[in-house]
Structure 1
Amino acid sequence: MTIRKKLLLFIPLLVVFANIIAYFVFQSGKVVQQSYDEMLGRILLIEQTSESAESNLKLLYAYLLNPRDDKAVQGPTERQLMQLKGRIQEVSDSAAPSFAEEDYVNLLATFLEQKQSAVLDANAQDPQSAFEHYIEAEKTVSYIHEEGQRLIDAELAYYRPIIENIRNKNERMNGLGVALFGMNALMGVLLAIWVSRSITGPVGRLVALAKQIATGDLNIEPQLRRDDELGVLSDAISQMSADLSILIEKDKQSLEMRRLVKELELLALQNQMNPHFLFNTLNVLSKLAILEGAEKTSDLIVSLSNLLRYSLQKLDKPVTLQEELDHIREYVTIQQARFRDRIRFDLHFDASVLQQQIPALTIQPFIENAFLHGVADMETGAIIALTLSRANEDVQIEISDNGKGMAEETRLSVLRLEGGAESGSSTGLGMQNVFKRLQLFYGKEGMVEISSNTGQGTAITIRIPVKKESERTDVSVVDRG
């Protein structure tokens, strides 16, 4: 769940929960308020009715003493009493059983009739009868007061347990409201802490990862999987760290390759004079040998010239197996002029692999090592063989000899890139250097196998992956920058 969804879900839920609690408390108070209003409304209605009856009685008495205008006694005060009587009847139809107002309404009706009779007698010039009706009306008003007080007492008696119950419920409701309010506040605090930690905690870890990456330490431990935006950011940082590690490793390999090539160039420079002077001198010697009839000597000088030119000019780029094979032929020509018939060189190759690219001067050091350390001491029967073939998806290069071989400790030392029998080479290139360059060029290890036993010769097998011409290597052979 994303952080936005969390906020949009939990915050409205908290607000709704708080509103439910507030509405519940409000409704409880509203019920109590309605009960109080109904009870007080009926009590107030009875009090108003009693006061109105008393006012009407006083007006009747004043009229009987001075019967000049009957509009005063039958005016608004009488209409008010009749309205109150009607309201009491309405309340009687909808009120609780405690409001037994039938007798009270009858008393009000009797009072109004007695008042009307007194007014009629006064208008008929019968004061005696009018005062008799007044006395009856006065008694009726006293009954109205008594009945009203009884109704009020009955109302209070009926609602007293209800009010007590409501009061108790109200107290419990107040306690529940306080508890719910506290629970709501606690849930709000816990929710805020949870949401805060779900954001600030991962952010803090991401900051720590960023600081770790800034110090150059890319060994980042896997983070917990998250489904929100911070999880995406954490995955992006982890991927970035992994990509940086790969790029740094590639840069290291590129720098290592530069160092090796610079080392090769330096070693080549240490073993050469000025190239133009050297090549010109060799050309003069070759032509002089031809003039003197020494064609073999001329051929050897040309082979040496080609060998040196290849060593000096091909170190900064990969070459094909065809070019490497031509270079090996020149080298073998010179060595066979030295060893003559003591050593035979056998070459077998599959023409389909000759365009495969390899680092320059890859095979020649092994051939040179076979000459100098494998078969140099043999008087007859020495054989050095070079075979280029396909092996499944790889190109296989095998250099073998039937010389003195090497001890197991020496073989393991060579495979561990710890040196080995590599001294005394004319070009200064060792097998250790070749192993490292192959590893950097193809980006893999374990490409070389050595099989050898003392007195039984040595066989070196190199397996390189087939690379199309359109493919690029992960690490260039050399970078002149």
Structure 2
Amino acid sequence: MKKYKEKFRYLDARLKISFVVVCILSFLLVLCLDREWIFPEGFWKIAMIFLPLLLVGFTYLWIWKPYRRLTNQVQRFSDGYISLADLTDVEVAISPEFERMARHMNKIITATRTLDMSKRQAQYRALQNQINPHFLYNTLEGIRSEAIIAGLDNLADMTEALAIFFRYTISKVENLVTVEEELENCATYFKIQQYRFGSRIHLEIEQDEEDWDDILHCMIPKLTLQPILENSIIHGIELKLDEGKVTISISRTKSRLLIKVSDDGVGMNRETLDKLNAKLGSKEEEVKNYTQPEKGGVALVNVNNRIHLLFGEEYGMHVYSLENVGTSVELSIPVIYNENELKKKEL
């Protein structure tokens, strides 16, 4: 009974049923008129009066009235009084296909609004976190100058690297940057870390010579690689007793940019790995509820969420790891050369 009730929520099903009923009644009427002896003549007079009234009342209550109610809802949506989600949550819908289309459109609109909100929040935080960046840069430049005068070349170089890193992280508010810019920021970050770890850590960039110039001009979300590089150093190599290496390799297919950040650190056990990949595979609404993820989970989930928001759920991140062997973080994003291509994808 519940199955049929759900089926008759749709006007297209009601129209089909009404058409079948009218056809059957018309056939029976013609058949019975051909055999007048079945019913007396007075019966047909009454039937010819009440049957059309019955059909009109049935059509009005079962089809026309719900149709007008649905039309009013669509009009209210067009006028901006209700949302698309309210339009999908109606007692009677036009058809299952229309309902699926409305729900799909609602997901697209919701995702677009979430992306716009995230952009505005990111820009607000960038502005908020600047705290007069010129003061910060001037202070660092002052420290660097004093270090050069005192002959402390290492301190001067470290201060300069820190200023470059802050300038990229704080001042640039773009959503997308080129692969070349992101790799330069990784090199700057790695240089800062080398002052701490010395020769214990190494960074290698694997280049695909054939497509490398093309790859460098591809655009990716800002601060995609540096947080992963940081995780590799802090949660992988730092815990080793001997030297360790992080390798960044980037290749491309016709439509996708494939990035892999690997380290030969301590790795992680199967349980930790499964939990992390489960978080990366979850929807953004579910992921944001995690407050204390395992090793580096916050940075990886953040990067993965931004990829989902910008490009869609079909792109993102997956982690592979073996305990005492190392960890690889693999990313897949679309090949894009300017932000206009991203706007076209959003449309």
Identify whether the pair has TM-score above 0.5, normalized to the shorter chain: yes
Name 1:365's counterpart in structure 2.
Answer: 227
- SS of corresponding position for 2:88: coil
Which residue does the alignment assign to 1:304?
Answer: 162
| Distance in 1 separating the partners of 2:112 and 2:48 | 53
Aligned with residue 330 of structure 1, among 174, 184, 188:
188
Within 5 Å, give how 1:463-474 maps onto structure 2.
Answer: 463-469=332-338, 470-473=340-343
Question: Which residue is equivalent to 1:454?
Answer: 323
Percentage of identical aligned residues: 25
Matched, 1:248 2:102: no
Deviation at 1:410, TM superposition (A): 1.8
Change (3 A) 1:395 1:222: farther
Question: Partner residue of 1:203?
Answer: 64
Is 1:375 the counterpart of 2:237 in the alignment?
yes
Question: 3-state DSSP class of the match of 1:472?
Answer: helix
The alpha-carbon distance between structure 1 residues 388 and 249, as it changes in their structure 2 partners (threshold 3 A), is closer
Q: Which structure 2 residues correspond to residues 75-94 of structure 1 after superposition, within 5 A? A: none
**Out of 47, 56, 71, which is 1:186 matched to?**
47
After superposition, the C-alpha distances for 1:405-438 in whole angstroms (9 at most, x for unaligned) are: 1122222222233422128xxxxx7222111111
Greater fraction helix: 1
Aligned residues of 2:126 and 2:171 also touching (Cα < 8 A): no
Does 281-290 or 189-198 show the bigger shift? 189-198
Partner of 2:3: none
Q: Partners in 1 of 2:219 and 2:200 — Cα distance? A: 33
Q: Tell me, yes or no, if the aligned pair for 2:263 and 2:327 is still in contact at 8 Å.
A: yes
1:403–1:244 Cα change, 3 Å: closer
Quote the residue 1:412 is aligned against: 274
Paired residue type of 1:460:
V
Given the superposition, is the C-alpha separation of residues 276 and 244 from structure 1 closer, same or farther in structure 2, using an over 3 Å criterion?
A: same
- Do structure 1's residue 216 and structure 2's residue 74 form an aligned pair? no
Match of 1:291 in 2: 149
C-alpha separation between the residues in 2 aligned to 1:357 and 1:186? Answer: 75
Give the partner amino acid of 1:400: S
Change (3 A) 1:202 1:245: farther
Superposed CA RMSD = 3.9
Residues 11-32 of structure 1 show CA distances to partners (whole Å, capped at 9, x for unaligned) of xx9xxx9xxx9xxxxxxxxxxx
* 1:250–1:475 Cα contact (<8 Å) kept: no
Q: Taking structure 1 as reference, are residues 207 and 243 closer, same or farther at Cα in structure 2, changes over 3 Å only?
A: farther
Aligned residue-pair number: 293
Query: Displacement of 1:245 after TM fit?
Result: 4.7
State the partner residue of 1:436. 305
The answer for unaligned runs of 5 or more in structure 2 is 1-11, 280-289
CA change 1:396–1:264 in 2 (3 A) is farther
Q: How does 1:33-432 map to 2 (within 5 A)?
A: 179-180=40-41, 182-207=43-68, 209=70, 214=82, 216=86, 218-219=88-89, 223=93, 239=101, 242-256=104-118, 258-259=120-121, 261=122, 265=126, 269=129, 274-349=132-207, 350-391=212-253, 393-417=255-279, 418=290, 419-422=293-296, 430-432=299-301
- The structure number with the bigger radius of gyration is 1
Gaps of 5+ in 1: 22-174, 226-233, 424-428, 477-481
Cross-structure match for 1:56? none
The one-letter code matched in structure 1 to 2:149 is: L
| Deviation sequence 1:215-265 (CA, Å, 0-9, x none) | 83624689576xxxxxxxx97787556534532343234335544x26864
- Name whichever structure is richer in strand by fraction: 2
Secondary structure of 1:471 counterpart? helix
For 2:196 and 2:215, the matched residues in 1 are separated by 30
Report deviation, 1:460: 0.5
1:468 deviates by 4.5
- Contact kept, 8 Å, 1:356 with 1:467, in 2: the verdict is yes
Q: Deviations over 1:39-89 (max 9, x none)?
A: xxxxxxxxxxxxxxxxxxxxxxxxxxxxxxxxxxxxxxxxxxxxxxxxxxx
- Tell me the distance in 2 between the aligned counterparts of 1:311 and 1:280: 16
CA separation in 2, counterparts of 1:390 and 1:237?
38
1:460/1:220 Cα in 2 relative to 1: closer, same or farther (>3 Å)? Answer: farther
Contact 2:244/2:264, CA 8 A, preserved across alignment: yes
Once the two structures are overlaid, the 10-residue window that deviates more, 207-216 or 460-469, is: 207-216
Displacement after TM superposition at 1:200 (Å): 4.0
Q: Distance in 2 between matches of 1:238 and 1:387?
A: 41
Q: What letter is aligned with 1:197?
A: F
Matches of 1:263 and 1:411, distance apart in 2:
34
- Spell out, residue by residue over 1:133-163, the C-alpha distance to the aligned partner (whole angstroms, 9 max, x if none): xxxxxxxxxxxxxxxxxxxxxxxxxxxxxxx
C-alpha change, 1:359 and 1:224, in structure 2 (3 Å) is closer
Partners in 1 of 2:62 and 2:115 — Cα distance?
A: 38
Report Cα offsets for 1:256-277 as digits up to 9, x if no partner.
Answer: 5544x268648x83xx764222
CA distance in 2, matches of 1:472, 1:256: 15
Superposed displacement of residue 386, structure 1: 0.7
User: Residues 446 and 415 of structure 1: is their aligned pair in 2 closer, same or farther, counting only changes over 3 Å?
Assistant: farther
Q: Aligned AA for 1:370? A: S
SS in 2 for 1:433: helix
- Contact kept, 8 Å, 1:395 with 1:463, in 2: the verdict is yes
Structure 1: how far apart are the matches of 2:107 and 2:214?
38
